């Protein structure tokens, strides 16, 4: 049995033994107030649930109307992020999207994140870390690609 339930039983035992009408009235009012709060919270929850349901139905009907008109919106690959009629994702040029992808960042990441990711990748693929000539050549190419991608993102972000 939980502690609040035990305390409630203990309190009821004290109240039942006391024949003070004022105390009994206070307890009764408190119980009624608790019930009214419970009812008010239940009504608020039902109202919010109905509002959410109607908003979801409205969105579904808007999507259906757009699909029937031949104007389907492009959906992102992640199922959590879908384009809604009220939100248009920022459009990036293809070369900027490729640069974000090259660094392993999501489109729209900040310049600080791009700087941090560039430093991390250059440390990992720096040519001085490799002894073998083929690996060194590959590391030089990768480092050049990383730097070029960072420059593309930097130019794009600073141009806006």
Take residue 58 and report the two structure tokens written for it.
């409205």
Residue (of 31, 36, 4, 5) closest to 23 by Cα position: 31
pLDDT tens string 64-110 = 777 766 554 444 444 455 555 555 566 888 899 999 999 999 888 89
pLDDT tens string 14-44 = 655 556 666 667 667 777 777 776 777 777 7
Domain ranges of the chain: 3-68, 94-159
Domain 94-159: state its class: mainly alpha
Question: pTM of whole model > 0.85?
Answer: no
The percentage of the chain sitting over the pLDDT mark of 90, rounded to a whole number, equals 35
């Amino acid at each position: 049995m939980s502690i609040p339930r035990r305390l409630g039983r203990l309190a009821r035992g004290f109240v039942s033994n006391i024949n003070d009408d004022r105390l009994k009235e206070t307890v009764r009012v408190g119980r009624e107030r608790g019930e009214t709060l419970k009812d008010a919270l239940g009504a608020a929850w039902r109202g919010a649930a109905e509002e959410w349901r109607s908003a979801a139905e409205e969105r579904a009907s808007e999507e259906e109307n757009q699909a029937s008109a031949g104007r389907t919106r492009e959906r992102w690959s992640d199922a959590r992020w879908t384009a809604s009629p009220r939100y248009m994702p920022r459009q990036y040029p293809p070369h900027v999207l490729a640069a974000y992808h090259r660094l392993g960042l999501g489109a729209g990441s900040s310049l600080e994140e791009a700087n941090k990711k560039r430093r991390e990748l250059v440390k990992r693929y720096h040519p001085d870390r490799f002894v073998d000539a083929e690996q060194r050549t590959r590391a030089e190419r990768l480092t050049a690609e990383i730097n070029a991608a960072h420059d593309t993102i930097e130019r794009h972000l600073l141009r806006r």
